[in-house]
């Protein structure tokens, strides 16, 4: 079972039917940063039960729709059991991914890109 935590930010949808960050024809899929370099996890740890948690920074997320898109794509990656996101509107959002084993970094990047966002590069 995948855990989804969302926080209502009180953002209002645009009158044209899109979410607060995009209109119906401006969906973020393929948006800015789609070809960004791979972002390595900031923190990776293993719990006593064997669950591996990795934290990433994702650029470009602005609302609950963004959180939902990233959560949906990451939840589809084999082994992922939970995704939680700390949305930082206008900055880098912290994405916490728990899985049954260490995740393939390329699969994480592909999921984030498919959602229309990019992993922040580690300097």
| 28 is a domain residue | no
The tally of domains found in the chain comes to: 1
Domain assignment of residue 104, given as a range: 39-123
Is 26 part of a structural domain of the chain?
Answer: no
Give pLDDT, residue 24: 45
37 or 75, greater pLDDT: 75
Q: Express as a percent the part of the chain with pLDDT over 90.
A: 50
* In-domain check, residue 5: no
Report if residue 17 sits inside a domain: no
Answer whether residue 71 is part of any domain: yes
Domain of 68: which CATH number? 3.30.70.100
Q: Is the residue at 54 inside a domain?
A: yes
| Residue 99 counted as domain residue | yes
Q: What residues contact 104, with CB distance under 8 A and at least 6 apart?
A: none
Give whole-number Cα distances, 48 to 34, 101, 102, 112, in Å: 35, 12, 14, 28
Report the pLDDT value the prediction gives residue 52, as an integer from 0 to 100: 93
| Tally of CB atoms within 10 A around 22 | 19
Residue 78 lies in a domain: yes
**92: pLDDT strictly greater than 90:** yes
User: Span 22-39, mean pLDDT?
Assistant: 41
Q: What's the average model confidence in pLDDT over 45-70? A: 91
């Amino acid at each position: 079972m995948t855990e989804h935590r969302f926080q209502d930010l009180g953002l209002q949808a645009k009158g044209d039917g899109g979410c607060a960050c995009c209109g119906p024809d401006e969906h973020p899929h393929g948006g800015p940063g789609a070809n960004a370099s791979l972002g390595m996890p900031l923190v990776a740890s293993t719990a006593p039960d064997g669950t591996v948690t990795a934290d990433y920074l994702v650029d470009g997320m602005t609302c609950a729709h963004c959180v939902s898109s990233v959560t949906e794509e990451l939840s589809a990656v084999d082994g992922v059991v939970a995704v939680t996101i700390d949305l930082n509107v206008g900055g880098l959002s912290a994405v916490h991914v728990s899985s049954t084993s260490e995740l393939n970094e390329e699969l994480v990047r592909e999921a984030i890109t498919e959602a229309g966002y990019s992993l922040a590069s580690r300097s």
